[in-house]
Chains A and B, each alone.
Chain A
Amino acid sequence: MRKKLFILILLLMLIIGLGAQSFQDNFNKASQLYEDGNFKESLKIYLGIEKYIKNWKLFYNIGNCYFKLNQNVEAKIYYLRSKKIKPFNSSINKNIEIVNRKFKDKIQKPKLDFFNKFLLRFESILSLNLISTILLILILTLNVFIFMLLIDGKNKVVVYFISFLLIFTILVSFYHIYRVSKHNFKESAVIIDNNVELRSGPGDNNTVLFKVNQGLEVKIIEKSKNWLQVSASSQIAGWMKEKELEKI
């Protein structure tokens, strides 16, 4: 039984390893095609990998392929997806700036204040997986100390340590919950059609406030059936149909 389990695990690891290698090979092949100027074929392979892997380099390269094929909206969507993982990468930011020039609507985003910049940088360094791992280690350590307390009875040092760990674990847990909820809520999107109407409420009967065009990045605020409340800046906001945008 043990032998069978061992072989099964080994096989599983081999399959995972081979799968990862095949993705890497395809990624290298697509990059070579891009270098050769065959953007269409390169894009095809990158999109094939994207079905299984989400990676900032992959998103960035897909964005580049779309840009070279003059599909600027798609290019921007993928650049923003890449930026979501690596917010401070200079190449991503530069390419977004260039692709933005291709669109009619140009809204300059307000510069981030020190606190928000720090928070964003902090989030980019501490990935969600890292937070999960830290939380798990804390939980395990906390439980080891609780176990020691149960065995030995009252021990001052152990009690202090447990108190400290408990407070720290609770804080990390809250931050983990915040990050998970933030991750699950896709807050930004890109308009994919031209002449999209932003209305005063969710429904065609409401007044048209603004008309916006494709390529504009918006923030999703609220959802009501098939309508989304979005804002492009502090002054431009309204409700639009969900199908007219692509979430990042």
Chain B
Amino acid sequence: MVKLRIVLILFLFYNALFCADIEFKATINSDKIGIDDVLIYKIVFKGVDNPTQPDISHISGFRIIQTSKSSEYRFINSKSSFYTNFEFYLKPLKIGQLKLPPVSYKYKGKEYKTESFIVEVVKGSTNPYTSPQRKRKSIFDFDDDFFSSPFDYNRNQKKQRIDIKLKSFVSKKNVVVGEQVIYKILLYSQNRIASITMLSNQSFPGFWQEWYPVPHSIDGVVKQINGKSYQVYEVRKAALFPTKLGVLSIPALKFELSISDNSISFFSSQNRVFRFAPAVKINVNNVSEKAKNLPVGNFTFNVSSDKHEIDINDILTLKLEIKGEGNIKTLDIPGFETSNYFKSYPSKITRSYDYTENKLIGKIFAEIPVSFKKNGVISFPILKFKYYDSKKEKVITKESHPIIVKVIGQREKQESILTLPSSEIVREGEDIDFIKKGKIYNQGKYYYKSIIFKIFFIIPFILNILFFIKKFVFDDLISKSKILNKKRVINKTIKRLKAVNSYEEVHIILENYLKEKSGFGLSEINVENIRKLFRKSKINDYDTGIFIRMKSESESSKFSPQKKSEFELKRDLKLLIEILGRVDTKLK
């Protein structure tokens, strides 16, 4: 009993520790809908990193008309959690009770399942507030103002209680083309927020942008504004790089928030509100003619080699690194011109980002393969990297340190294998080829190992050998051999005599015997000829007499009304076999 409790406690502890953070749930917006309505089937993931869309193709009776994915924070008991939602908009195809079977999802080797639902589909629409105009609106057309609900009482109640604002901030309002601007959206709230979802498009015209990854939890800070205490959260952040001149606008961004305050939920089941992060304008100035098309920011530049001595047949890899705040994605990497001493090839480029509090720092790492044409001490030309420093308002040129490599040995072959075609293609990364699909069959099964193969291999030979034996050994030798034939005929005759059931059969067997032994025709087998043959073979009269008597009795028995008994038949046959043995040894 104690052991059972310990196991139970350990099990609960394990669940609390490892399983409690993962959630996979499904909900529906209504269990009764009209055939003209749309059912929203929502699947929520909690604690799953970037989940893939669950497969709901097995749900029958509905047609999927739209799917959407969103992520949100929920604040529960001052702890924030990251949720991913998949919404499937399902159009019923028939009237009646339709079942939505459970949806399963595999994560880290474990299978999670949602519950099943039964939805009643009736004629027409079940939504009494749906006007024909409203119906035509897209399912994504959410009301901007939460207070447009038909329940006026609740509306007034909530209007007094909800105090949530979104504010947009930019790190700089006056910048030059390509200069980095940090854009962030802060949430000010007096209410307890359950979740927040960004609904607007994340791309802004006139900017190249890199959004900061959405963290799994946000810590809020308390701020006093006009005597009111607000909880402030940084909900989204991006590094923007203007690509156009003039006044550029970051549009207002729409957010959906769920409030978990008890007072609000009490009056209505609806606790969603929509807020906009206001639009922000940025003045983008031009740079001087010299600085045009150069990266803007502050960068470090370095080129290095890990080898200072190399065999002429080997490939040297030079490492180039550019690091700093700027539009790393669009940077051009300086390269070496091919000389009489060496040849450089397209480089392998890796880009990475470091998301710091106040700026986005990018890093480009390029590996440049170089082959050598001659041996000796080779000095690589100094590479230059130019950028525009907006703080100093001037063009900065950074130079690589001189690289000197001693090339030794003799070239084994001419450059044929090292000559690569010049191309505009830039290698961005490298990966293995994708998996192969299609039909598979067993290629490890070998015919030669199977019994059928062996049988088919051997049997034709055996059959031919048998046929050969029959034709050349048996037909030509055995059947024509007098010695072998002699024994064969007597044995066959005795065997047939032993199988006799009636006396009438005996004379036929004896006639056949004589036919084979003497070469007589059937018409020639009579008493006189038998006597002549037996006498010639020196067979005594007693044996001759019995042989002739038994043959005659057998011939006449079919006409005789008095049949011999079984005992008499056996006795006579025994005597006949005895006599035949003696006759056969003497018969030529």
Report which A residues bind B (CB closer than 8 A). Answer: 20, 23-24, 27-28, 31, 34-38, 40-41, 49, 52-58, 60-61, 64, 67, 85, 90-91, 94-95, 98-99, 127-129, 132-133, 135-136, 139-140, 142-144, 146-147, 150, 176, 180, 183
Are A129 and B463 in contact (CB-based, < 8 A)? no
Are B443 and A85 in contact (CB-based, < 8 A)? yes
| Partner pick for B432 among A24, A67, A128, CB 8 A cutoff | A67
Are A24 and B439 in contact (CB-based, < 8 A)? yes
Are A146 and B444 in contact (CB-based, < 8 A)? no
| Partner pick for A150 among B435, B436, B453, B471, CB 8 A cutoff | B471
**Does chain A have a CB within 8 A of B11?**
no
Give the docked Cα–Cα distance between A121 and B570 (Å): 80
Q: How many contacts A-B (CB < 8 Å)?
A: 99
Give the docked Cα–Cα distance between A54 and B432 (Å): 22
Known: A28-B437, A31-B437. Is A99-B432 also a contact (CB below 8 A)?
yes
**Chain B residues in 8 Å Cβ range of A20:** 441
Cβ distance B295 to chain A, nearest Cβ, rounded Å:
31
**Chain A residues in 8 Å Cβ range of B434:** 64, 91
Known: A31-B435, A98-B432. Is A132-B52 also a contact (CB below 8 A)?
no
From DSSP, what is the main secondary structure of chain B's interface residues?
loop
Chain B interface size band reads: 20 to 34
Are A132 and B432 in contact (CB-based, < 8 A)? no
**Does chain A have a CB within 8 A of B448?**
yes
Are B456 and A140 in contact (CB-based, < 8 A)? yes
Known: A64-B432, A64-B435. Is A53-B442 also a contact (CB below 8 A)?
yes
Give the docked Cα–Cα distance between A27 and B439 (Å): 9
Are B440 and A150 in contact (CB-based, < 8 A)? no
Residue-wise interface mask of B (96-121) relative to A, using a CB-CB cutoff of 8 A (1 in contact, 0 not): 00000000001001000000000000
Give the docked Cα–Cα distance between A111 and B176 (Å): 56
Known: A41-B106, A56-B443, A180-B448. Is A61-B52 also a contact (CB below 8 A)?
no
Cβ distance A183 to chain B, nearest Cβ, rounded Å:
7
- Among B420-446, those with CB < 8 Å from A are 430-446
Report which B residues bind A (CB closer than 8 A). Answer: 52, 106, 109, 430-448, 453, 456-457, 460-461, 463-464, 467-468, 471
| Partner pick for A61 among B436, B439, B441, CB 8 A cutoff | B436
**Chain A residues in 8 Å Cβ range of B433:** 64, 90-91, 94-95
Are A143 and B442 in contact (CB-based, < 8 A)? no
From DSSP, what is the main secondary structure of chain A's interface residues?
helix
Are B442 and A150 in contact (CB-based, < 8 A)? no
Known: A54-B444, A128-B448, A176-B448. Is A94-B432 also a contact (CB below 8 A)?
yes
**Chain B residues in 8 Å Cβ range of A142:** 460
Complex: chain B residue closest to A111, CB-CB: B417
Give the docked Cα–Cα distance between A174 and B436 (Å): 35
Are A183 and B456 in contact (CB-based, < 8 A)? no
Are A143 and B432 in contact (CB-based, < 8 A)? no
Apart from the given pairs A57-B436, A133-B447, A150-B471, 14 other A-B contacts in the complex at a CB distance below 8 Å:
A27-B440, A28-B437, A54-B444, A56-B443, A57-B440, A61-B436, A90-B433, A136-B453, A136-B456, A136-B457, A139-B461, A143-B460, A143-B463, A183-B446
**Chain B residues in 8 Å Cβ range of A183:** 446
Q: List 12 A-B contacts (CB under 8 A).
A: A24-B439, A35-B435, A54-B445, A55-B440, A55-B441, A57-B437, A129-B445, A133-B447, A135-B457, A136-B456, A139-B460, A150-B467
**Chain B residues in 8 Å Cβ range of A28:** 437
| Partner pick for A54 among B435, B442, B447, B461, CB 8 A cutoff | B442
Complex: chain A residue closest to B461, CB-CB: A143
**Chain B residues in 8 Å Cβ range of A136:** 447, 453, 456-457
Known: A67-B432, A140-B460, A150-B471. Is A129-B440 also a contact (CB below 8 A)?
no
